[in-house]
Amino acid sequence: MFELPEIETVRRELDRDLVGKKVRSVEAMSMKTLGRYRNRKSFTGRFDDMKILGVERRGLYLTIGLDGGSTLVVDLGSSGSLRRNANRDAIEDHTEVVITFTQHGQLRLIDAGGTAQIFVVDSEALIDEVPSLDGLGLDPVDEPISWTEFGRALLQRNVKLKTLLTDESFVVGIGNIYADEILFEAGLRYDRPSNSLSSQEIRRLHRALVGTLHDAIKYRGTSTPDRPFVDPFGVSGDFADHLNVWGKQGQLSSRSRLPIQRVKFGGAWTYFCETQV
């Protein structure tokens, strides 16, 4: 799945670009991303003359506010991509939804893997329609948190650190890539119990969490061969060039000059340096 830096990159671009634009028409090419609807018309008919008010992120969902009290919700999954296009641009393969504005082109949802979903809800019913949003944990990008608050939440759990970092009820939007990078920066092992950390280690983990996410957003997310990512203008994320351990098994660690290790943990590969304790 895409993680918080990728979704936040998309959000920032769309919020700068779409606010104030008025929808002229919406076309759905198939039902692949419209799992909540019986037919395409029940989705496309929700947009008549609506204007974009703003683009927000709730966890890993993009929520696009529309006038009239509606919200367009987009879940990119692991293969979806939102693109800004001119009307005259050729329609790419796997384009599922095309939103045309009265001025300044289109917004297209492209999804080769069939993991994305798009739907419209009444804004006041967003939590009822997407109940998983009600149980989200900390969002260190949207709502900064002090290291002391973070530490209190951390010490209340007795969970292995990588399991906790990738738990949406504790902190949102962190998957395998960023969990491994955060733990490397903090110098902590993936299987260290969360309630065993000292105050100094909590500070290091908090600093690594916030710093890694903000750096990844600065470099516009991570694109890998298995999970390519581009922003709404088709530009790939560059944070892969700054990864320290993820996907680098056998290469020498920048910290110890020993080979980076890889083990299976929680059904996925985990990458770490021997200096992590």
Q: What is the pLDDT of residue 60?
A: 97
Q: What is the tens place of the pLDDT at every residue in 190-243?
A: 999 999 999 999 999 999 999 999 999 999 999 999 999 999 999 999 999 999
CA distances for 131 relative to 126, 134, 173, 228, angstroms = 8, 6, 16, 29
Weakest-pLDDT range from 6-10, 48-52, 198-202, 206-210: 48-52
The answer, yes or no, to whether residue 48 has pLDDT greater than 90, is no
Q: How many Cα atoms within 13 Å fall on the side-chain side of residue 215?
A: 16
Cβ neighbors of 127 (< 8 A, separation 6 or more) are 133, 134
Q: What is the pLDDT of residue 200?
A: 98
Categorize the per-residue pLDDT at 94 as very low, low, confident or very high, splitting at 50, 70 and 90.
very high
The helix-helix angle for 199-218 and 4-18 (nearest 10°) equals 40
Q: How many Cα atoms within 13 Å fall on the side-chain side of residue 200?
A: 1
Mean pLDDT of 82-91: 97
Q: What is the pLDDT of residue 1?
A: 86
Q: What is the pLDDT of residue 92?
A: 96
Q: What is the pLDDT of residue 243?
A: 98
In percent, the amount of the chain with pLDDT more than 70 equals 100
Categorize the per-residue pLDDT at 49 as very low, low, confident or very high, splitting at 50, 70 and 90.
confident
The helix-helix angle for 147-155 and 199-218 (nearest 10°) equals 120
Q: Is 235 exposed, middle or buried (0-12, 13-18, 19+ CB in 10 A)?
A: middle
Q: What is the tens place of the pLDDT at every residue in 244-273?
A: 999 999 999 999 989 999 999 999 999 999
Query: How much of the chain is in helix, strand and coil states, percent to nearest 5?
Result: 30, 25, 45
Q: What is the pLDDT of residue 66?
A: 97
Mean pLDDT of 114-136: 96
H or E element, residue 107: strand 106-111
Domains of the chain: 4-135 (3.20.190.10), 147-272 (1.10.8.50)
The answer, yes or no, to whether residue 72 has pLDDT greater than 90, is yes
